[in-house]
Structure 1
Amino acid sequence: MELLGLTTLALVVSVTCLSLLSVWMKMSTGGRLPPGPTPLPIIGNILQLNLKNIPASLSKLAQEYGPVYTLYFGSWPTVVLHGYDAVKEALLNQGDEFLERGPLPVIADNQKGCGLIFSKGERWKLLRRFSLMTLRNFGMGKRSLEERVQEEARCLVEELQKTEAQPFDPTFILACAPCNVICSILFNDRFQYNDKTFLNLMDLLNKNFHQLNSIWCQEKHNLKSDFDLENLASCGSNLFTAGTETTSTTLRFGLLLLLKYPEVQAKVQEELDRVIGRHQAPSMKDKMRLPYTDAVLHEIQRYITLLPSSLPHAVVRDTKFRHYVIPKGTAVFPLLSSILLDQKEFPNPEKFDPGHFLDKNGCFKKTDYFVPFSLGKRSCLGESLARMELFLFFTTILQKFSLKSLVEPRDLDIKPVATGFINLPPPYKLCLVPR
């Protein structure tokens, strides 16, 4: 028994020493990483993070170690960028060096480096060009796309009217609308919300990009081509997932905030009635005449910080950044929440206040700190579509319905159910009363 105990102790000491040696080698080889909390063997700095609110933990560490510091997830270093200046300097000023996609283990096994969001290097550049070209060919940035979104907004209203002012969970319906827009763009068709094919598509997005077979049939004999079935299916899956879930979650969170703050809802509807009326369909040309509504949409996106840590980046080569040298391949976290919740730019950032985007005259106020779509070359590819969908869906719903909470507004919980990779609103029900 004594020998077994000594053997176990020796094993623990050996593993600890090897782990410390591994960390030291990563810290000393190929660069000089920014300072940060001392990592523990094997687990790194995981104990210093509140897993229920990782962005808040990262901001707290920034107060001690500055806007650029190193954190260890296991034995692997990650450089955290906190605040607008650090994120801008990396993603815009030195964008080519921070262009790589960092690891995200929960998705890596599924995506295998394929697709648009998680690919790297020349593959990513090629697929991004292809995706932009495809989306533009199918209407991105053109009036025809606005007409598609307006049509879907009308269909969304028809579906919402079927609730007959009874309590319902808006999750599914709000996800169908942006998904149908992507279907309309790529397949030139939309689906009824109860269509079996559409329901299968909602569940199996990553298996339904076979309609672009003609694109890769030019390429199937080119073994070096990135236009293979797996890559383009992943690319299509990325477009569906990013184009559906982010927009629908923002809408769902936005309606919850208006239930919580009925005075905001009333001001939006007053502006819509005065500028557009209740019968003319909202269009993007109306946006300039709706400063308060525009401010509310921006404040929703700022307040919910949908992707607090963005997606991880990585440096493509040994990179000099400020006073440090970040080794090639090191993961980088641009903390978007540190910008969207900046106290100097947005006084009382924890408070939902459309005034954050209004000047003293009530006009809409732009700010460089509005970064829900991230910054640089790896920012959201579908930003213009997402902005259009949010505006047209949001205004059309509020033009036709008043939102009614099932409980007193003060009793509504608006705290996200998860604060890590993505912020999700708590489940809720509401009634939509026709106006």
Structure 2
Amino acid sequence: MYCFGDFTFFLAIIVIGLFCFMGLSLLWRRRKLPPGPTPLPLLGNILQLSGGDMVTSLIREKYGDVFTVYLGSRPVVVVCGYNAVKEIYVDRVYDFIARGDTSTFDTTYHNYGVAYTSDVDRWKELRRFSQSTLRDFGVGKRSLEDCIVEESQCLVTELKTTKGSFVHPKQYFSKVAGNIIFSIMFGHRHEYDDAELLDVLNTISETFHIICSGWGHMLEMFPRIMQFIPGKHQEILNNMQKLIKYVKKRVEKNKETMDSNNPRDYLDAFLIKMEKDKNNPKTEYNFENLVCCTLQIFFAGVETISSTLTYALLIFLKYPDVLGKVCEEINCIIGQDRSPKMQDKNQMPFTDAVIHEMQRFIDLIPMGVARKTTRDVEFRGYFLPKDINIYPMLTTVLKDPACFLYPNEFNPKNFLDEKGEFKKNIGFMPLAAGKRNCMGEALSRMEIFLLVVTILQNFVLKAELSEGKLNLSPDVSGLGNLPKPYKIAFIPR
């Protein structure tokens, strides 16, 4: 009994000593970083961050626009406000251009692809190729506009089959966004009841929802521990592997029917480039990058649009006066006898302002996507070592009172001048800014405008709940802000 007591005492001393060592180690590592709340050993700042935006605001109020928090034992530097975030994204872009660590995606992509690689040379080459190829297959050109208009009419036909009953809208918006990106990446579209399409879209939607949930937060903070703990987060990797398998199958199909003189889509273009560079050991045009680029573009192209449209219609239901004014403008400029065109946007300042304000208010990617320093840098009086993770908080830009007259409420006047004309706003960064912004930004602008206008041109929107019961706060908030599920009726005009 005495020996057991000695052993227990000895073990306690070791544990206490270990925690003291870890605490001192944290203090030593923090000495040159921007200030921030004191982290706990192993846990980091999980307790201080559990309150979401409100707690982040309180931390910012105490420490300023640049501060350090710990995700578990990993320090990250948080950057807030338009001026500081612009410095990261635009003014000093090459100091911060590497993609930061994101446990959720790092375990899937292993630094391959264009969106989540920290290899700057790889990113430059694959982004150049991808932008050029997407442009050739429609992005920024009238041919893609025609594709979106055609698909929007397919959506109208599908919504009419609901016969004015209350439905969950996101499933329909996933289908239309999925078919548009399918056409670009894979060269064809699917019928809306196609089992393959539905399986892929459901997998993407489910995965993104988990990533944005508390399970996703915990996985990001404690990746090594969470891989051994059961929970919804385990489905993230399983689902991503399922999507990887699907893309590989699509690649093999293209290989069988490809004509190197007549590329049909993104996959063909990449495969042709792979063949040309097959004797170059340093080429970025390899199978791993093909699969990861394809999935990254496809995943973002579907989820960004479907979530934005789902949130947008909820806002319209909450603000019927705004909805009415947009419908008036549609009737005046476009009428009922033709489909909308992008050139109509220049004559529709209120609609343009409303769509911009919706994207600002939705705040789809509140934390931005993590960046990483490419070298030791001095930033706003603080030393930031090479490879430290940076979180440019887009939410603090989209709600910056220095940029927006009504930062914390939905108000189209944030994008209207005194004459009621549309005005640009420097704080409008819904997906990022600068050289490493979203590749599909031009595509998403076209999709959102044309789809929103087409829906309102063809349907009267009816909410299942009264305006007072409609809740605009996110269902989950993490990497993305996703709306609470709701039902809506599309009543043909």
Structure 1 residue 187 displacement after superposition: 2.8
> Are the counterparts in 1 of residues 41 and 73 from structure 2 also a CA contact under 8 Å?
yes
Determine whether 1:6 maps to 2:64: no
| Aligned residue identity for 1:162 | T
In the TM superposition, what whole-angstrom CA distance separates every residue of 1:30-64 from its partner, at most 9, and x where no partner exists?
xx32121222212222211125x2x4332221110
Q: 1:231-242 to 2 correspondence within 5 Å?
A: 231-242=289-300
- Change beyond 3 A, Cα 1:197–1:220: farther
| Aligned residue identity for 1:106 | T
Moved more, 200-209 or 134-143: 200-209
The SS at the match of 1:96 is helix
> Are the counterparts in 2 of residues 23 and 76 from structure 1 also a CA contact under 8 Å?
no
Q: Which residue of 1 aligns with 2:228?
A: none
Measured on the aligned residues, the alpha-carbon RMSD in Å equals 1.7
The SS at the match of 1:258 is helix
- Which of 322, 342, 353 in structure 1 is aligned with 2:380? 322
> Are the counterparts in 1 of residues 100 and 371 from structure 2 also a CA contact under 8 Å?
yes
| Aligned residue identity for 2:11 | T
Q: Which residue of 2 aligns with 1:169?
A: 168
Moved more, 404-413 or 391-400: 404-413
Q: Which residue of 1 aligns with 2:460?
A: 402
Q: 1:83-102 to 2 correspondence within 5 Å?
A: 83-102=81-100
Q: Which residue of 1 aligns with 2:80?
A: 82
Q: Which residue of 1 aligns with 2:102?
A: 104
Q: C-alpha distance in 1, partners of 2:174/2:197?
A: 12
Q: Percent identity?
A: 41
Q: Which residue of 2 aligns with 1:150?
A: 149
Structure 1 residue 313 displacement after superposition: 0.4
Q: 1:328-407 to 2 correspondence within 5 Å?
A: 328-407=386-465
Q: C-alpha distance in 1, partners of 2:275/2:491?
A: 51
Q: Which residue of 2 aligns with 1:40?
A: 40
Q: C-alpha distance in 1, partners of 2:197/2:488?
A: 25
Q: C-alpha distance in 1, partners of 2:479/2:187?
A: 33
Determine whether 1:267 maps to 2:342: no
| Aligned residue identity for 1:90 | I
Q: C-alpha distance in 2, partners of 1:201/1:137?
A: 25
Q: Which residue of 1 aligns with 2:23?
A: 20
Structure 1 residue 200 displacement after superposition: 4.2
Q: C-alpha distance in 2, partners of 1:215/1:18?
A: 53
Determine whether 1:311 maps to 2:369: yes
The SS at the match of 1:370 is coil
Q: C-alpha distance in 1, partners of 2:346/2:440?
A: 21
> Are the counterparts in 1 of residues 398 and 427 from structure 2 also a CA contact under 8 Å?
yes
Q: C-alpha distance in 1, partners of 2:125/2:56?
A: 34
Structure 1 residue 186 displacement after superposition: 2.5
Q: Which residue of 1 aligns with 2:491?
A: 433
The SS at the match of 2:474 is coil
In the TM superposition, what whole-angstrom CA distance separates every residue of 1:275-325 from its partner, at most 9, and x where no partner exists?
110121110000011111111101111111000011100100001112122
TM-score by length of 2: 0.84
Q: Which residue of 2 aligns with 1:192?
A: 191
The SS at the match of 1:418 is strand
Q: C-alpha distance in 2, partners of 1:271/1:104?
A: 43
Q: C-alpha distance in 1, partners of 2:157/2:25?
A: 60
Moved more, 19-28 or 302-311: 19-28
In the TM superposition, what whole-angstrom CA distance separates every residue of 1:153-190 from its partner, at most 9, and x where no partner exists?
11111111111111111111101111111111233322
The SS at the match of 2:112 is coil
Q: C-alpha distance in 1, partners of 2:481/2:7?
A: 48
Structure 1 residue 404 displacement after superposition: 0.0
Q: C-alpha distance in 2, partners of 1:95/1:257?
A: 34
> Are the counterparts in 1 of residues 404 and 427 from structure 2 also a CA contact under 8 Å?
no
Structure number with the higher helix fraction is 2
Determine whether 1:254 maps to 2:312: yes
Structure 1 residue 8 displacement after superposition: 2.9
Moved more, 80-89 or 346-355: 346-355
Q: C-alpha distance in 2, partners of 1:200/1:217?
A: 31
- Change beyond 3 A, Cα 1:369–1:6: same
| Aligned residue identity for 1:155 | C
| Aligned residue identity for 1:18 | F
| Aligned residue identity for 1:67 | D
Structure 1 residue 6 displacement after superposition: 1.3
Q: 1:199-214 to 2 correspondence within 5 Å?
A: 199-202=198-201, 203=203, 205-206=243-244, 207-208=246-247, 209-210=250-251, 211=254, 212=267, 213-214=271-272
How many correspondences in the alignment?
430
In the TM superposition, what whole-angstrom CA distance separates every residue of 1:80-134 from its partner, at most 9, and x where no partner exists?
1110010111221110000011111122111211111111221111211121121
Determine whether 1:141 maps to 2:140: yes
The SS at the match of 2:491 is strand
Q: C-alpha distance in 1, partners of 2:362/2:71?
A: 25
Q: C-alpha distance in 1, partners of 2:401/2:7?
A: 57
> Are the counterparts in 2 of residues 19 and 75 from structure 1 also a CA contact under 8 Å?
no
Structure 1 residue 201 displacement after superposition: 4.0
- Change beyond 3 A, Cα 1:264–1:78: same
Q: C-alpha distance in 2, partners of 1:93/1:415?
A: 33
Structure 1 residue 413 displacement after superposition: 1.7
> Are the counterparts in 2 of residues 216 and 227 from structure 1 also a CA contact under 8 Å?
yes
Q: Which residue of 2 aligns with 1:49?
A: 49
The SS at the match of 1:417 is strand
Structure 1: runs of 5 or more not aligned: none
> Are the counterparts in 2 of residues 175 and 248 from structure 1 also a CA contact under 8 Å?
yes
TM-score by length of 1: 0.95
> Are the counterparts in 1 of residues 403 and 426 from structure 2 also a CA contact under 8 Å?
no
Q: C-alpha distance in 2, partners of 1:25/1:194?
A: 58
> Are the counterparts in 1 of residues 185 and 294 from structure 2 also a CA contact under 8 Å?
no
> Are the counterparts in 2 of residues 22 and 75 from structure 1 also a CA contact under 8 Å?
no
